[in-house]
Structure 1
Amino acid sequence: MKPLEYVCPRTVAEAAAAHAAHPEARYLGGGTNLVDLMRLGVERPELLVDITRLPLDRIEELPDGGLRIGATVRNSDLAAHPLVRARRAVLSQAVLSGASGQLRNVATTAGNLLQRTRCGYFHDLGRACNKRVPGSGCAALEGVNRDHAVLGHSAHCVATHPSDLAVALAALDAVVELAGPGGGRGVPATEFHRLPGDRPERDTVIEPGELITGVLLPPLPDGTVTRYRKARERASHAFALASVAAVVQLEDGAVRHVAVAFGGLAHRPWRARRTEAALLGTAPTAESVARAVEAELAEAVPLRDNAYKVTLARDLARDVLGALTAP
């Protein structure tokens, strides 16, 4: 095992400074993904910065009706929180659809956002992977790629992001709070994860030393309904082949607000802007919902083995949006 250092800072500033001082440092929260990758030799940090003792484990209702979720809030606590279940069921549904109860008791909000792809070639040190070793190639392009991306991929990487929580946050217009040596900033959840381009080793826009301190959820209009659905290989403990999170508000039969995000299809949660634009202001019908979903998925470029994902995502989205817009 590679020797490493370990620190347990008392403040966010101390944590950010410690991380920034070591190029190969990693933050440690629940560790449910990081520790597995360390065992495989995929992650080889020089320093672990333990953030579990920082005061980032609260869920707070804000004066405007929004919600702030601390970075180290456990997934189980997030899914069970009354304010989440009552107004943002999509978030609770997404969290409960991921992993096992034991893992949800340990995994954190920030860790869920930062988990790395489950691409088998990324985990196999004997295969080419630009995400693991930049410039080495992408074995999935000509290999087994039925679980891989159909949207936003590049010649350098076709991996998908595995988080269910991140898909729901994208649909909720969440903002990820970051703190680092240069101060704090907020990044929309829809822009937090990167598409691969020619730098697939960079999963997010986080800069060295920056730490997720929380996630802000804006208030939802009265009458808003939400839902998350996921298709997977087996009934539990499996990552999404395709998933959809939707947030809808109807007023006098017309769509006044709509947000749709897909999971399992791209390197990041995929916000379906074309679908939203097609539905906004309309009185939805089964036919118009189908056309709106098709407008987004027409951009898909399937690989050799995963064209089924387009059909799967289409059916999930039509079902979810149809249920949320039904009279």
Structure 2
Amino acid sequence: MNSFDYARACDVAEAVRLKAGAPDARFIAGGTNLIDLMKYHVEQPRRLIDISRLPLNAVEETSNGGVKIGALVPNSTLAYHPIIESRYPLLASAILAGASAQLRNMASTGGNLLQRTRCAYFYDVATPCNKRAPGAGCSAIDGLNRNHAILGTSTSCIATHPSDMCVALAALEARVHVVGAQGERMIAFGDFHRLPGGRPDLDNTLRADEIITAIELPARGFAANSSYLKIRDRLSYAFALVSVAAALELDNGHIRGARLALGGVAHKPWRNEAAEAALRGQAPERVSFERAADILLQEARPHRHNAFKLPLARRAIVRTLTQAANGTPQIQSIKSIR
């Protein structure tokens, strides 16, 4: 690991000031992803800014009926928080599907949004990677790409976003609170992460001096009819081949509202409003779910080793929507798909 300077911020303003003075610095809280990146020489920050003691660890209700989650709330605390368990079970389930208990105890909510791809070529500094070194090329396109993206890819990158929590946050239409040298702003969750385009090294739309302070959930949590399903090579501590966050609002035997997000298939959590619109007004049945799946996946462009993700995703979407409609969500402690 390379040498680096260390500074501890006492408040958000100081964190922003320290970052503005060293654009290549990195914030560190739980460090569950950053430390790995530093060990593998993928990230070599000259300064680490410790934000672990900032007062950003509360989960509190907002005046509009939603919930505001501090950026430093540990993933495990959030998953088992009574408000989240009762009103946003989709989020709780997605968190429990991710990583291990030890990592969830350390990982911060804000840090989860910022974790980088688990592409093997990205981690191997001996191979070309546009995300690590812009202009170097993408080794995955013609390499072993079984775990890679089938949606939203570019000729520069086919990496996937690894988070489970973010898939649920996308479906719930969360908002991200950030603070920078220019002041505070709020980013719609769907606008926070980027598709690769020609700049796959840019994972999100944060400015260089900005820090995440909170994530806000709207009042509607789809508590009665939602499910998170994660398909992976093994049933614990593995990243998703395909994951689905599905949330429905039912009224008199028909779908009044629908949210649908995919993980493991794109550079960011994948949503398609046309697929959700196709569900509204329909009966919650297989034919409706299959139609939505086809719309959601219509732009898929599989590669040599990951074409299996297309039928896998279609079946997973239908199954997860069925679970949500029946009010029988996938239980993460049960190591079988219901």
Name the TM tier (shorter chain). over 0.9
Percent sequence identity is: 50
Decide which moves more: 190-199 or 276-285. 276-285
The one-character-per-residue Cα deviations of 1:81-123 (angstroms, maximum 9, x if unpaired) are 0111111111111111111111111000011110000000000
Tell me which residue corresponds to 2:171.
171
The one-character-per-residue Cα deviations of 1:228-259 (angstroms, maximum 9, x if unpaired) are 11000101000000000011111112211111
Are 1:201 and 2:201 counterparts? yes
Residues 208 and 223 of structure 1: is their aligned pair in 2 closer, same or farther, counting only changes over 3 Å? closer
Are 1:101 and 2:96 counterparts? no
What is the SS of the residue equivalent to 1:305? coil
> Normalization by structure 1: what TM-score?
0.97
Aligned-residue offset at 1:272? 2.9
* Contact 2:150/2:300, CA 8 A, preserved across alignment: yes
Q: Distance in 2 between matches of 1:27 and 1:222?
A: 33
Q: Distance in 1 between matches of 2:274 and 2:303?
A: 22
Tell me which residue corresponds to 1:55.
55
Aligned-residue offset at 1:325? 2.3
Tell me which residue corresponds to 1:23.
23
Q: Distance in 2 between matches of 1:221 and 1:98?
A: 20
Tell me which residue corresponds to 1:156.
156
Tell me which residue corresponds to 1:212.
212
What is the SS of the residue equivalent to 2:37? helix
Q: Distance in 2 between matches of 1:222 and 1:87?
A: 7
Q: Distance in 1 between matches of 2:144 and 2:223?
A: 44
Partner amino acid, structure 1, of 2:68: R
* Contact 1:259/1:272, CA 8 A, preserved across alignment: no
Residues 270 and 221 of structure 1: is their aligned pair in 2 closer, same or farther, counting only changes over 3 Å? closer
Tell me which residue corresponds to 1:322.
322
Tell me which residue corresponds to 2:330.
none
Partner amino acid, structure 1, of 2:316: L
Tell me which residue corresponds to 2:269.
269
What is the SS of the residue equivalent to 1:255? strand
| Gap regions ≥5 residues in structure 1 | none
Tell me which residue corresponds to 1:293.
293
| Gap regions ≥5 residues in structure 2 | 328-338
Q: Distance in 2 between matches of 1:308 and 1:190?
A: 26
Tell me which residue corresponds to 2:42.
42
Partner amino acid, structure 2, of 1:252: N
Tell me which residue corresponds to 1:239.
239
What is the SS of the residue equivalent to 2:140? helix
Q: Distance in 2 between matches of 1:55 and 1:100?
A: 25
Q: Distance in 2 between matches of 1:26 and 1:221?
A: 33
Tell me which residue corresponds to 2:302.
302
Q: Distance in 2 between matches of 1:34 and 1:222?
A: 33
RMSD: 1.3
The one-character-per-residue Cα deviations of 1:43-87 (angstroms, maximum 9, x if unpaired) are 000111111110000111123220111000001000000111111
Q: Distance in 2 between matches of 1:224 and 1:170?
A: 18
> Normalization by structure 2: what TM-score?
0.94
What is the SS of the residue equivalent to 2:289? helix
Q: Distance in 1 between matches of 2:227 and 2:186?
A: 25
Q: Distance in 1 between matches of 2:223 and 2:117?
A: 36
* Contact 2:87/2:221, CA 8 A, preserved across alignment: no
Q: Distance in 2 between matches of 1:3 and 1:292?
A: 51
Aligned-residue offset at 1:281? 2.0
The one-character-per-residue Cα deviations of 1:273-306 (angstroms, maximum 9, x if unpaired) are 2220110122232111111111111210001110
Q: Distance in 1 between matches of 2:43 and 2:57?
A: 26
What is the SS of the residue equivalent to 2:247? strand
Tell me which residue corresponds to 2:141.
141
Partner amino acid, structure 2, of 1:134: P
> How many residues of Structure 1 are paired with residues of Structure 2 in the alignment?
327
